Structure formats: structure tokens, C-alpha cells
């Protein structure tokens, strides 16, 4: 971790592809947690980085790194945290603010891709795309005849929990399909004409589909619980592209198993990468491994966006996408 050249140190605490790594190294002296041969755990690596001459004032992290008091104690030189995630539940924003550490996230880099993925999951669940594809692959079509009918998307009442950057894009896409949009957020939004519901239970009771697109915080952990699922009802579908813990996963499994809801499309899980085994055998459930954000285009955009935030910080300019404590609520 020795210093070299006139470039500032940047602490890199997430795996990146070769192009991303090269772009960072063109501009900074990168201290890479994932460098070949590096075996230190995160906090030990951060502490070692803090001991180099001209220690790093900025770090690039992902959702797999928790930035809290212990982390900041290990790196007292840090004044900027750039997260490549959109969610902020892995960062103690209040503690960062107390210590004068600026925080930026990925902003809207992923928003379009996540919205597309949410619609894809919903279409898959309703039209049973994945399940019918497996029916064909198993050779069941000639033997058992036509596959059972799916359900139409157009006309569905879709309740969106969290009408932020992603939730708004989901709403616009589903409106184009002829869906009726309702939503729940911290407060009503004057910019939209969708019907507002002050809580998730009432939203679910008036919806055929519930889409979870909110941030994860104390107020939204298990915002979709047993009561909400029961309010959604036996013909209802849940889609989650927020955070796994936005849904009480144990109650979701029970609701699916007992037919209390009709199906689910899930990109996130409460204890990733562990997924409840019961879901694997349910053909009314579509699963993806937390990939809604990932496309080739978003990876390229993320690199440019991350470097833009770093360059703004080192030049004393405002961050491109600064976040603060109330950013956790939508």
C-alpha cells in the first residue's frame, strides 16, 4: 500500500471489472480490497490503508460493505463515501454526517433497468412465462396438452410502495400496459395523479399487484407483513425489487404455500444469497439473484458516474448525487 506518484489514494472496497479498474487507476492510486493476493478482512484492510502516507480521503463501496462507526474509526482520514448501490441501508448516514463525511450513491444509474426488471417479473408471474417454458422443456406439452392459462396484465390495479426514481418509472411503464396505479410513500406527491394510500395495508386491499420499490429502513422493514399479504388476497401478486427485508419472507412463504396470494416475482431476499428452499418448487414464483440493476449499459454508466462523484469531491465541487439521512425515506 505504498504511495506512488501525485494521484490521491482511493480505497476500493468492491469488485470491479477490468475497464472500471483501469479507469480508476488512470486517475487515482487505488487501494483494492479485491486485489490478487490480498487476504485481509475489510476492517483490517481499511485500517492498513489509513496508515499509508497521504491516506485515502475517499472510498468506493458497494452494498456488501457496512459503513458505520467501526468502519469510520478504522479510516479517520475518509471524507467521502461513494456507494455504487442505489439503496442506503448499509450506510449509517447520521454517523457520516456527524463526522463530516460526505456520501454519494448511484443516483438514477440503475433506475431504468430496475423498472424494466420489475415489469418483466410481473409479466412472467402473470403470464407464467418461466413455468410454461419449463413445461415445454420437460416434454410435457405433447403428453399433457395445453398449459394452464395465465392472467392479463392490462387493467390490473397496481400498488407501488415507494414512488421514488424507480417506483415512478415502474408506474409509467405499467400505465402504458393499461394498469391502474396506486401508491404508498412517506407523503403524497403533488406531481402525480395516482391515488395515494397512507399505509401498505390499505394499498394492498385496493390492489391486484403489490410492487415493493422503497428503500429499507426501520419504517419499511417488513412493511409487507402477514396483514398486508392477507389484504392483498388470494388473487394478488407481489413483486419485490427493493430490499429483501422489506417483506417478511417467512410470512410470504406461508402465504404462497397456503394459497393466500397467487404468486410472487422476487429479485431480492431477506438473507441473501440464501433463498427459502420452499420457493424453488413453486411454479407461481419467479426468482432472480438480485440482478435487476445489472446490464452492460448500467455497468458502463456506473463507472462514469462513480468517477464523476470522485472527481467532484477531489476538486471541491458538489457531489453529483449526494445523500443524507432523510434520503432513506420515499
Catalytic position from the list 95, 108, 206, 272:
272
Catalytic position from the list 243, 249, 270, 305:
243
Cα separation values, 111 from 13, 191, 272, Å: 23, 18, 21
Q: Which three cell numbers stand for residue 285?
A: 414464483
Q: Which three cell numbers stand for residue 196?
A: 395515494
What is the radius of gyration, based on Cα positions, of the chain? Answer: 22
Residue 251: active-site member: no
Helices 129-137 and 111-127 pack at an angle, to 10 degrees, of 60
Residue 270: active-site member: no
What's the CA gap between 111 and 275, in Å, rounded? 24
Residue 243: active-site member: yes
Helices 111-127 and 165-176 pack at an angle, to 10 degrees, of 50
Catalytic position from the list 230, 290, 299, 311:
290
What's the CA gap between 38 and 156, in Å, rounded? 51
Q: Which three cell numbers stand for residue 221?
A: 422493514
Q: Which three cell numbers stand for residue 87?
A: 439503496
What's the CA gap between 89 and 73, in Å, rounded? 19
Residues 6+ apart with CB under 8 A from 207: 157, 158, 159, 182, 232, 236
Length of the chain as a residue count: 330
Task: Answer for the pair 237, 256: CB distance below 8 angstroms, yes or no.
Answer: no
Spacing of C-alpha 13 from chain mean position = 18
What's the CA gap between 192 and 171, in Å, rounded? 10
- Catalytic annotation, residues: 243, 272, 290
Amino acid at each position: 500500500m505504498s504511495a506512488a506518484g501525485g494521484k490521491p489514494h482511493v480505497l476500493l472496497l468492491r469488485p470491479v471489472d477490468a475497464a472500471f479498474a483501469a479507469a480508476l487507476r488512470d486517475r487515482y492510486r487505488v487501494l483494492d480490497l479485491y486485489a490478487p493476493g490480498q487476504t485481509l478482512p475489510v476492517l483490517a484492510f481499511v485500517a492498513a490503508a489509513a496508515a499509508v502516507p497521504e491516506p485515502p480521503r475517499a472510498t468506493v463501496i458497494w452494498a456488501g460493505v457496512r459503513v458505520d462507526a467501526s468502519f469510520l474509526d478504522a479510516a479517520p482520514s475518509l471524507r467521502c463515501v461513494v456507494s455504487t448501490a442505489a439503496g442506503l441501508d448499509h450506510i449509517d448516514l447520521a454517523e457520516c454526517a456527524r463526522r463530516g463525511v460526505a456520501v454519494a450513491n448511484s443516483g438514477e444509474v440503475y433506475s431504468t433497468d430496475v423498472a424494466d426488471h420489475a415489469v418483466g417479473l410481473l409479466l412472467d408471474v402473470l403470464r407464467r412465462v418461466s413455468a410454461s417454458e419449463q413445461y415445454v422443456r420437460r416434454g410435457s406439452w405433447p403428453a399433457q396438452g395445453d398449459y394452464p392459462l395465465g392472467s392479463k396484465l392490462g387493467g390490473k390495479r397496481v400498488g407501488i410502495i415507494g414512488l421514488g426514481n424507480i417506483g415512478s418509472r415502474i408506474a409509467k411503464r405499467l400505465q402504458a400496459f393499461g394498469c391502474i396505479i396506486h401508491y404508498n410513500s412517506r407523503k403524497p406527491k403533488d406531481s402525480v395523479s395516482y391515488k395515494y394510500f397512507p399505509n401498505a395495508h390499505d394499498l394492498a386491499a385496493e390492489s391486484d399487484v403489490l410492487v415493493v420499490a422503497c428503500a429499507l429502513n426501520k419504517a419499511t422493514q417488513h412493511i409487507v407483513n402477514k396483514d398486508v399479504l392477507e389484504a392483498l388476497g388470494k388473487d394478488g401478486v407481489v413483486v419485490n425489487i427493493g430490499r429483501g427485508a422489506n417483506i417478511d419472507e417467512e410470512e410470504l412463504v406461508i402465504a404462497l404455500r397456503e394459497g393466500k396470494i397467487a404468486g410472487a416475482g422476487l429479485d431480492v431476499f431477506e438473507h441473501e444469497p440464501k433463498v427459502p428452499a420452499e420457493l424453488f418448487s413453486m411454479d407461481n414464483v419467479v426468482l432472480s439473484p438480485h440482478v435487476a440493476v445489472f446490464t452492460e449499459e448500467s455497468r458502463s454508466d456506473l463507472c462514469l458516474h462513480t468517477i464523476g462523484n470522485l472527481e467532484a469531491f477531489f476538486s471541491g465541487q458538489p457531489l453529483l448525487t449526494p445523500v443524507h439521512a432523510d434520503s432513506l425515506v420515499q
